[in-house]
A and B are shown apart, each in its own frame.
Chain A
Amino acid sequence: MSETDAMSGTDATGPGDLAELTVAQAGALLRSGEITSVQLAEHALGLIEAHDAALHSFVLVTRDQALERARQADRELRGGLDRGPLHGIPYALKDIFDAEGLPTTNQSRLTVSDVAAGDSAVEERLRAGGGVLLGKLATYEFAMGGPSPDLPFPPARNPWHTEHIPSGSSSGAGVAVAAGFLRVAFGSDTAGSMRGPAFHCGTVGLKPTYGLVSGHGATPLAPTMDHFGPLGWTVADTAAALQAVAGPDPRDPRTRDAPAPDYLGGLTGDVKGLRVAYSSAWYAHDPETLPEITEGIERALAHLEGLGAIVEECKLPAYELFNACGRIVMAAEGFATHERNLREEPRKFGRITYQKLLPGAGVGAADLLRAMELRRRLTEALDQRVFADHDVLITACGQTTAARFDAFPLDWPPPRLANDMQTIPFALTGHPAMSLPLGFAGNGLPIGVQLVGPRFGEAGLFRAGTALEAEFGRRGTRPALTTGAPDDRHATA
């Protein structure tokens, strides 16, 4: 089958037909023998070679190893061995995940030459699942710094407008998926580091429930807030990626000792009877929030209600409490994680990373204990007030579109945190939270919404997300940078 044939029936305007196949479509064609994993990998590698010099989403492309894994996937599939939803599918890892024999640079001079002796749990599962690793993706330094020029690799750029940041810290993952290099990528999220790039690059980004995906072999930042998971071009792609990496791991005691449920069976768009909570209290009256975002959320809620979901307002604890609590816990844990290097080799950190990590030294034991107790109460409040009676909470993800690079000086902090994200509450409480695209703001940059669920309630997020994506997702529109096509972001509302 030719690449054109493989795409017949889609309305994609993307960077190449094979890149526009969903994970499920590509999987079906791989299993029927109509395409090969080598074709998929070659196509993706060609796109990366053609366009990533302007985007910097990859810090390492592993062409030879990728093609060898693709050939192996093809042999196995021809032989009737099916390793699961990502078998033969290209993906890449944020450069904090170990992959045996490859550097894990963390975008830091401190670790730029460190080569992993083994696989992280995420990579181990993807390898066992027959996925095809194409390389390592750009990150902020140690998943904490900023889009800084004083680090080993240039910062990734937003494919919708390269003068804008893609957000971070899973920057490369957001960029590579939005640009069409990959359908899925894997990142980490301690305060919003997957949901931010997903929001600002117009992809789906899922921070799973704390403990659903193992962090073994991933560089820690704040261990009680670190989450690991997928970004995908569609909800279904993201669900397939989560299916491949979720589940218990005895090497990471944070993981839940229970198998992951099936995430792929409920992606029908049927939301009849789904119980949806919302509260606009955190964002609607904040002048920093773009009106398009507030309106988009209102349209999303109306759409779900129109499809038969039960939509009800709820009362959330004050955002300032979540934010303060989360910042204190993350600062204390981040400092503890990096204390030795902060003491001994301060000049090896990027300036912003150092300036963001060192304040954690000032969090005292009593302050941290107060924050941990408040965290418990806030988590309990969400469980009782929201998730006792609802499957999904809908709220803002980001308050505005991606900032320009020139808004970030060499030193912390930027004059105005123009990307204010409302993601930290659920990194603090551990509830699953997904950033879902809702089209574009008037300036042509992506916007989205945040869907939050009860712990281990990812299936409900995928269910609601599928329904919203069908109406608002604009999955047929790709950045003009890689398509060479006319910019049609404003073609529809």
Chain B
Amino acid sequence: MAHDGKEEDTGAHGTEPSPAETADREFASVLARLGIEMPSDLAPGVLAGYRPMRAMMELLRTVETCDV
């Protein structure tokens, strides 16, 4: 999640953000850092691709590679 010095947004109605919301914000911050402008009409498909990939990256963080 991007940190811009403001209080962290905890999602709608004060609840924790959903994994999809977290992924979308994370990806937006990546694109901003890289200076890439994503056409808005293409964004839903891009984010639909990023969300499962983020889940895969999380999976790999939990795997002890010596135990495959």
Q: Which of B25-47 contact A (CB under 8 A)?
A: 26-27, 30-31, 34-39, 42, 44-46
B54 to chain A: closest residue by CB: A362
Q: How far is the CA of A352 from the CA of B45 in the complex (A)?
A: 8
* B36/A328 in contact, CB under 8 A: no
Expressed in whole angstroms, the minimum distance between the Cβ of A282 and any Cβ of chain B is 14
Complex-state Cα separation, A362 to B68, whole angstroms: 25
Interface residues of B (CB under 8 A from A): 26-27, 30-31, 34-39, 42, 44-46, 48-50, 53-54, 56-57, 59-61, 63, 65-66, 68
Q: Is the CB of B42 within 8 A of A331?
A: no
Question: Is there an interface contact between A377 and B56, defined as CB atoms closer than 8 Å?
Answer: no
Taking A320-B59, A354-B42, A367-B57 as given, write out 5 further A-B residue pairs in contact, using a Cβ cutoff of 8 Å, ordered by the A residue number: A327-B53, A359-B50, A362-B30, A374-B68, A411-B42
Chain A 353-366 per-residue mask, 1 if CB under 8 angstroms from chain B, else 0: 01110110111100
Q: Please tell me if the beta carbons of A378 and B68 are within 8 angstroms of each other in the complex.
A: yes
Docked-complex contact B46 and A359, CB < 8 angstroms? yes
Residues of A within 8 A of B (CB): 317-318, 320-321, 323-325, 327-328, 331, 342-343, 346-347, 351-352, 354-356, 358-359, 361-364, 367, 370-371, 373-374, 377-378, 381, 411-413
Q: Is the CB of B56 within 8 A of A412?
A: no
Could you tell me if B65 and A411 are in contact, using CB atoms closer than 8 angstroms?
no
- B34, B53, B63, B66: the one contacting A359 at CB < 8 Å is B53
B42 CB contact (under 8 Å) in A325, A328, A351: A351
Q: Which 7 A-B pairs have the closest CB atoms?
A: A355-B45, A324-B56, A359-B50, A412-B45, A359-B49, A411-B45, A367-B57
Q: Which residues of A contact B44 (CB under 8 A)?
A: 411
Q: Is the interface of B mostly helix, strand, loop or mixed?
A: helix
The majority secondary structure among interface residues of chain A is helix
Max chain B C-beta neighbours (<10 A), residue from A323, A362, A370: A362
Query: Do B45 and A413 have beta carbons less than 8 Å apart?
Result: yes
Instruction: Please determine whether B53 and A362 come into contact, CB atoms closer than 8 angstroms.
Output: yes
Residues of B within 8 A of A367 (CB): 57, 60
Q: How far is the CA of A356 from the CA of B37 in the complex (A)?
A: 16
5 A-B pairs in the complex with CB atoms less than 8 angstroms apart:
A321-B68, A351-B42, A356-B49, A367-B57, A413-B45
User: Once the chains bind, are B68 and A317 in contact (CB under 8 Å)?
Assistant: yes
Partner of A331, one of B26, B27, B53, B59: B53
Q: Considering the chains assembled together, what is the distance between the CA atoms of A327 and B31 in angstroms?
A: 20
- Residue picked from A355, A412, A413, most chain B C-beta under 10 Å: A355
Shortest CB-to-CB span from A446 to chain B, Å, is 28
Contact A343 B54 (CB under 8 A): no
